[in-house]
Structure 1
Amino acid sequence: MSKKIELRSDTFTLPTPEMLDAMIHAELGDDVYGEDPTVKKLEERAAEMFGKEAAILVPSGTMANLASLMAHCPRGSKVLVGDESDIYIYEAGGATVCGGIMYEPIPTQPDGRLAIDDLQKGFPNDLADPQFALPALICLENPHNRMGGRVLPLTYLAEVQAFAKERGIPVHMDGARVCNAAVALTVSVAEVAQYADSLQFCLSKGLSAPIGSIVVGDREFIQKVYRIRKMLGGGMRQAGVIAAAGYVSLNSMIKRLEDDHTHAKQLATGLDSIKGIECDVKTVDTNIVFFRVQDKRFTWQTFVEAVRQQGLYIDELGHGRIRAVTHSGITSQDINQALLIIQNVLNS
């Protein structure tokens, strides 16, 4: 059988030999006591790179976002969050269940933005009226997963930051793939992070580490997240084993994200040329490609299964659209083979 081509997600990335070696030789301690030197080194490096005072390692992006929302928002308040965002759709309603926080879904624009006019509607006309839950936080997703990996412009981020400051609430950025955004914009991650009071990013997606996400922010905020992480069960002991791989990923895996973006464009361009496939190349900013199957012989389910039988793994991600995500395990040759499989299935 030919090589399996895994395009369902960049969470399928595997740690590099350098990461595995670093994990084996990591200096360890008990991180719940704050005594794991490798975790400390990773957190200090992340804070420095993102231009924030402090950082904290957590097991997952879901926990990173949840702990951040709980640190920002008092019980009975609400968070303004995109109706197509991962926080709203894919994180099991954790802020409501664990934090007593209400989600206010804001319409998501095709490029991932939340329009300022729509954010304004999330604020009651009379803030003193006790009937209303009051906004305590604005959440942005950058790049935006369900809108196709779209990158939010820096000018827009500045606009939201100014809007939030005028109303006295912070901005949290779900930046699971924010390093992809920075690479696409050809700026440092700190230039993107400066527009958010807090930000979480994943080590285990395009950066190819096996486990972990990081929250960055000011020291007082990170101390709140530290306590909430423990409450949620995220306190880890010799977590330097995880942190060692994350440290390598921050230092050696960001620049290579350009390759993933190139491969995504290659895939989108190829899909656009195949009869029976609808794909808008202009919307591909990072490593995520969405497309639709227009051939009436197929549903998305039967199409996904048909290409899987030939070794190509893709999946649906909302509204009947199929998502493909490039990553460090995918080469240009793999993209060519994926396109050949899709063409063969449609020709069958």
Structure 2
Amino acid sequence: MRLVDKSDMQIGTIYCLRRCCKWYKKAFLYVPDICVLNAFILYKDSNTDKHVPKTDSGEGSGGGGVRVVDVRSDITSQPSPAMRRTIMEAVLGADPYGEDPTVNALQKRGASLLGKEAALIVPSGTMANLIAVLSHCERRGCEVILGDLSHIHLHEHTGTTQVGSVYPRTLRNQPDGTFNLKEFLEAVRSEDFHSSRTALVCIENTHSMAGGKVLPMDWMDELGAMCKKLNLPIHMDGARLLNASVALKELPSRMVRDCTSVSLCLNKGLGTPVGSLLAGPSEFIYKARSIRQMLGGEMGQPGIIAAPGLYALDHVYPRLHEDHEHIQIIARAVAGCGSPAITCDLESAHTNILMLNCNMAYLTPQQLCQRMEEVTEEEMAVMGERVVAKMSPVNLTTVRLVTHLSITPEDVKALVVKMVYVIKELGKPKST
């Protein structure tokens, strides 16, 4: 026999609500499943408008619970009840006919924010980037120049090649997320029946694998001037562009001035459940809309995605500096340990991402992540609470932390105490 827990009750409640909806449908009263699900979520969270620390009991970190601090990625953030209410209250319409007023408002707002003529809502950042590349590279066999550590190249399943027969010509990413501009000029290929033609340049800001670094403005300006002379469009993967904007205290429109197109994730730093924007010239967005349809990304009434996006631009964008401050607190604590086992570059922590370097003579990234998810009795006695910290190993020597909307100052304090404890515990060379 298995005891029924809280999650079973929640699932059962949703099931019963959906059964009720089916009965109402017979009476010609249609209630979409998504509304039922969000109604239940709204009911569950209606007592508070603040994020509650996630624990094994679903309550607070007291009473023997476990405080879970999830810094694997900013996609793990949870929308606040206020953001969820925007989903429930969104005015909807048929977007294929251009009749969803909430979508139209977000697209207009996004285009203005990024200094472009038009914008398009899409389900994901990966799709936004793929649509951009396919819109720019209309002929099969074209080449796109991009960094070898870029998200488009490493983490988007080579969609540009699989779907569009567009091939990557990679340049080595430098530690600051840029690439050498002399090497860039040498990589550009003009029209020649012997080889592929360079049709597009892609850059990423902030640069994820460079530790959330902000691309230098003078480098972007120089690249923009080169591409203008070469008549080459630039697409910016701006998944976390607003983090870069906050860090530099620069307008997003200025940062993408020389980019023909730009993608912007709603569900990373902005903390919405899903969705991205793609912005550019009107003619480009017209083509992008057609490609979105081909990829299966057109949605009937995506106002339920657009509404939290509008909320995030008003309420989450202005607080992104808090995530950057949280990373600085964690980075200073790690650096302050002075351990040869785990180190970080404090000056490289520009935004909400921190890379921890693991000395393989002491431990591997996997071992560090595993230990941070464990709680020992000795640790509990020192910390006064059980803390589980979730982090991500990104390569053979590095662990990544990403702060976000759902990480509170109390979470940061608990994470720092745990991190310092674990660093001291593991800071002994492995026995041979």
TM class by shorter chain equals over 0.9
Displacement of 1:299 in angstroms is 1.6
SS in 2 for 1:181: helix
Aligned-pair Cα RMSD in Å: 1.3
Is 1:82–2:147 an aligned residue pair?
yes
Match for residue 280 of structure 2 among 214, 217, 221:
217
Cα distance per residue 1:90-119 (max 9 Å; x no partner): 000000011110101111010001221121
2: distance between equivalents of 1:336 and 1:165? 48
Is 1:148–2:211 an aligned residue pair?
yes
1: distance between equivalents of 2:291 and 2:360? 49
Contact 2:141 2:167 in 1 (8 A): yes
1:46 match:
110
2: distance between equivalents of 1:108 and 1:30? 43
- Structure 1 residues 20, 128: closer, same or farther in 2, change over 3 A? closer
Displacement of 1:343 in angstroms is 2.6
SS in 2 for 1:113: coil
SS in 2 for 1:136: strand
Match for residue 248 of structure 2 among 179, 182, 185:
185
Match for residue 354 of structure 2 among 280, 289, 292:
289
1:63 maps to a residue whose letter is M
2: distance between equivalents of 1:21 and 1:336? 30
Unaligned runs of 5+ in 1: none
Q: Which has the higher contact order (CA 8 A, sep 6+)?
A: 1
1:140 maps to a residue whose letter is I
Displacement of 1:333 in angstroms is 2.6
- Structure 1 residues 295, 78: closer, same or farther in 2, change over 3 A? closer
1:22 match:
86
1:303 match:
368
- TM-score, normalisation: structure 2: 0.78
Unaligned runs of 5+ in 2: 1-64, 376-387, 426-432
Contact 1:107 1:118 in 2 (8 A): no
1:318 match:
395
Match for residue 114 of structure 1 among 150, 171, 179:
179
Q: Pick the structure with greater CA Rg.
A: 2
2:76 maps to a residue whose letter is F
Cα distance per residue 1:134-177 (max 9 Å; x no partner): 11000000010000101012211111111111111100000000
- TM-score, normalisation: structure 1: 0.97
SS in 2 for 1:196: coil
Bigger shift: 176-185 or 187-196?
187-196
Match for residue 269 of structure 2 among 165, 186, 206:
206
1:305 maps to a residue whose letter is Q
Match for residue 12 of structure 1 among 72, 76, 94:
76
User: Runs of 4+ in structure 1 displaced over 3 angstroms?
Assistant: none
Contact 2:333 2:420 in 1 (8 A): no
1: distance between equivalents of 2:236 and 2:216? 13
SS in 2 for 1:228: helix
Contact 2:93 2:303 in 1 (8 A): yes
1:53 maps to a residue whose letter is E
Contact 1:203 1:212 in 2 (8 A): yes
2:300 match:
237
1: distance between equivalents of 2:420 and 2:400? 17
1:338 match:
415
Identity across matched positions, percent: 37
Displacement of 1:336 in angstroms is 2.4
Bigger shift: 287-296 or 184-193?
287-296
1:170 maps to a residue whose letter is P
Cα distance per residue 1:20-77 (max 9 Å; x no partner): 1111011111212222111111101111111110000000000000000000012211
1:162 match:
225
- Structure 1 residues 291, 221: closer, same or farther in 2, change over 3 A? same
Contact 1:277 1:295 in 2 (8 A): no
2: distance between equivalents of 1:332 and 1:38? 33
1: distance between equivalents of 2:250 and 2:326? 20
Q: How many pairs does the alignment contain?
A: 346
1:44 maps to a residue whose letter is K
1:10 maps to a residue whose letter is D
Bigger shift: 28-37 or 141-150?
28-37
Bigger shift: 134-143 or 290-299?
290-299
- Structure 1 residues 40, 315: closer, same or farther in 2, change over 3 A? same
Displacement of 1:297 in angstroms is 4.1
1:88 maps to a residue whose letter is H
1:335 maps to a residue whose letter is V
Contact 2:342 2:423 in 1 (8 A): no
SS in 2 for 1:205: coil
Is 1:95–2:172 an aligned residue pair?
no
